[in-house]
Amino acid sequence: MLDADFRSAKQFWEPFYENRDRPIPFFPNKPDENVVANVDAGLFRGGKALELGCGPGRNALYLARQGYQVDAYDLSETAIAWAKERAVTEQLDVHFECRSVFELAPQEEYDLVYDSGCLHHLLPHQRIPYIEMIQHALKPGAYFGMTCFAPGFGDQGGPEHVMHDWDVYREKSMRGGLAFTEEKLRYLLEDALECVELRPMKAMGQEEPYFGLPILWATLWRKKY
């Protein structure tokens, strides 16, 4: 009933990836700077990884290059086709599949779950099942990494304000993606997970080998034992 008032996410995301030449910051095949930092710091050490809303697969491919066995899902068939092509080109074995994150039911199998920009496109009522799924997916002590919009970046292409959840339903729109305060993220995640890091993502130039935009939070959480 709550979903019914909104345009379907699949209808939006399917054509989004059709023109690969568009200057979308996350189209180039570069991993998030925070993922690389966590690999370099020895926190992400391999094992099984799950990427949620993987788009054309840039983080999944990077994790596979680091030795992870990766399952990566996205709503968009077009994005998954692109991700698979990238994997073939790089001779990487990644399980890319077109599926909604709400169809997944993993059970304590992953050493790492990663979400770069998926949660902030989910409706408020979808957050609890999403976070519960992630909590079930993680092994005890395993990591959940996530980037999502921070408020105050209206001049740089991000949201200026945190929308009240009620306003999402009143306006029948997420205005292109929801911003979260640090308090809201902690409120959503801290029951199940402990916060390891919550900081603005570092700005990375186009010429740099990693992706980073300060309009996003770079966060890392760990499932409690």
Ligand X SMILES: C[S@@+](CC[C@H](N)C(=O)[O-])C[C@H]1O[C@@H](n2cnc3c(N)ncnc32)[C@H](O)[C@@H]1O
126 within 8 A of 200, measured Cβ to Cβ: no
Sheet holding 48-52, edge to edge: 95-98, 69-74, 48-52, 110-116, 138-149, 216-223, 193-200
The answer to whether residue 118 forms part of the interface with ligand X (CB under 6 A) is yes
CB of 120 to ligand X, least distance (A): 8
The answer to whether residue 64 forms part of the interface with ligand X (CB under 6 A) is no
> Which backbone phi and psi does 2 adopt, to 5 degrees?
-70, -35
Number of residues binding to ligand X, judged by CB under 6 A: 19
**From CA 127, how far away is CA 40, in angstroms rounded?**
30
Q: Stretches 70-78, 82-90, 156-164, 199-207: which one binds ligand X (CB under 6 A)?
A: 70-78
From 58, 96, 137, 218, residue interacting with ligand X (rule: CB under 6 A): 58
Q: Determine the 3-state secondary structure of 91 from DSSP.
A: coil
The answer to whether residue 145 forms part of the interface with ligand X (CB under 6 A) is no
Q: Which is nearer to ligand X, 116 or 135 (CB)?
A: 116
Query: How far apart, in Å, do the first and last CA atoms of the chain sit?
Result: 36
Task: State the residues that interact with ligand X by CB under 6 A.
Answer: 9, 13, 26, 53-55, 58, 73-76, 79, 100-102, 116-118, 121
